[in-house]
Amino acid sequence: MNARTLHVPIALGMIVSFAYPHRAFAADAPAPGSAPHADDPAKARQLAKSKYQQGVEAYRAEHYADAVRSFLEADAISPSAALSYNIARAYEKLGDDAQTLRWYRNYLRLNPQAPNAAEVQGYVRVLSAAVAKKGIQQVSVLSDPPGATVAIDGNPLGVTPLTVELPPGSHTALLSLRGYSDASRDFTLSPSTPIDVSVTLRQAQALPTTSPPPVAHSDQGTRRFGIVPYVTLGVAGAFLGAAGVVELSRRSAQNSAKNEQVQLALEDDLSAVDSRRTAARVLLGTGSVLAVTGGALLLLNARVSPESRAVVASVPGGATLGWERSF
């Protein structure tokens, strides 16, 4: 769009805005977290006014890029419809149709009942047609609260409020903000008319806290005798095995005695038979007792609380199995 197309009405608007500079400020709404001195409204307001005055001076000196920068800085501190209007006029001087359209649209969004609303709507139609000739159209994505990350068709493009140009057709916007549930919106962009996509975000529900695993109850403690039954059965098996070996040795010595012709050798063989018979019987008896004991302990080996435990105590001449419980 040729800058001369809107030259006269924009210049008149500039005179009105400069004559009443207080109209360029929003006294009640500095941008949260975006401005210096955000915790001091008086300092923020003074800084915004200073940036605005710098923009006015730059515009009068026809330094339009500097005017845009100063107006944008003032708007970041204390946004207002009047500042949006001034930003649009400065961009128009630079011949930037897309940015001029964006800020005129923002002006109407913030002040739909403005006295010059019909005039600005005419500018918007002209600028929309100029943008459409490039095969694109403008869409603004707004969220409540602002500051949500926006991805359109899977491509991250910025944070709300966000204004971009896209090819006409169907698109999908995905908004994400910490503490809020993601929101997805499908929209269709007309070739000739810019649109707003407004989304109200919902706070995410707090995740339930995970309960710690339950502590084992006392009836799920250790075994009553622990590994004692298994050790006892193992020793019993060893004794029984040894008894079998000795018994085989005794039978071998007995067979040897039957075939022995020498009296002295025969006596030795008979002595070995008696000795091995006695050893086999001792081993067999001990192994049998241990096997019965181990089996009984295994049957009684139920789970008990950790306060109860088996105790093996040493006594003169051997060991005894006892039971100890804490109260």
Q: What is the pLDDT of residue 156?
A: 96
Q: What is the pLDDT of residue 17?
A: 43
Q: What is the pLDDT of residue 257?
A: 60
Condensed to tens digits (0 to 9), the pLDDT of residues 196-240 reads 999 999 999 876 666 666 655 544 555 666 777 777 778 878 878
Q: 88-117 burial string, b = 16+ CB within 10 Å, else e?
A: bbbbbbeebbbbbbbbbbbbbebbeeeebe
The beta-strand segments (E) located in the chain are: 137-144, 149-152, 155-159, 162-166, 169-176, 183-189, 195-200, 308-315, 318-325
Q: How far is CA 255 from the centre of its chain?
A: 83
Which carries the bigger pLDDT value, residue 212 or residue 91?
91
Rounded to a whole number, what is the distance in angstroms from the first to the last CA of the chain?
94
Beta bridge partners of 175: 150, 183
Q: What share of the chain is helix, strand, coil (3-state, %, to 5)?
A: 50, 20, 30
Strands 183-189 and 169-176: antiparallel
How large a percentage of the chain has pLDDT more than 70?
Answer: 68
User: How far is residue 157's CA from residue 160's CA, in Å, rounded to a whole number?
Assistant: 10
User: How far is residue 93's CA from residue 90's CA, in Å, rounded to a whole number?
Assistant: 5
Domain boundaries, the chain: 1-132, 135-204, 218-325
Q: What's domain 1-132's superfamily in CATH?
A: Tetratricopeptide repeat domain (1.25.40.10)
Q: Band of the pLDDT at 301, cuts 50, 70, 90?
A: low
Condensed to tens digits (0 to 9), the pLDDT of residues 106-165 reads 999 999 999 999 999 999 999 999 999 999 999 999 999 999 999 999 999 999 999 999
Length of the chain: 327
Q: 145 preceded by cis ω (within 30°)?
A: yes
User: How far is residue 284's CA from residue 97's CA, in Å, rounded to a whole number?
Assistant: 108
Q: Band of the pLDDT at 37, cuts 50, 70, 90?
A: low
Condensed to tens digits (0 to 9), the pLDDT of residues 250-270 reads 777 677 666 655 555 556 666
pTM of the predicted model over 0.75: no
Is 29 a residue whose pLDDT tops 80?
A: no
Burial of residue 305, with CB atoms counted within 10 A of its CB: 0-12 exposed, 13-18 middle, 19 or more buried: middle
- Fold (CATH) for 135-204: Immunoglobulin-like (2.60.40)
Q: What is the mean pLDDT of the chain?
A: 78
CA distances from 187 to 144, 278, 283 (A): 18, 101, 93
Token pair for residue 201?
């975000």
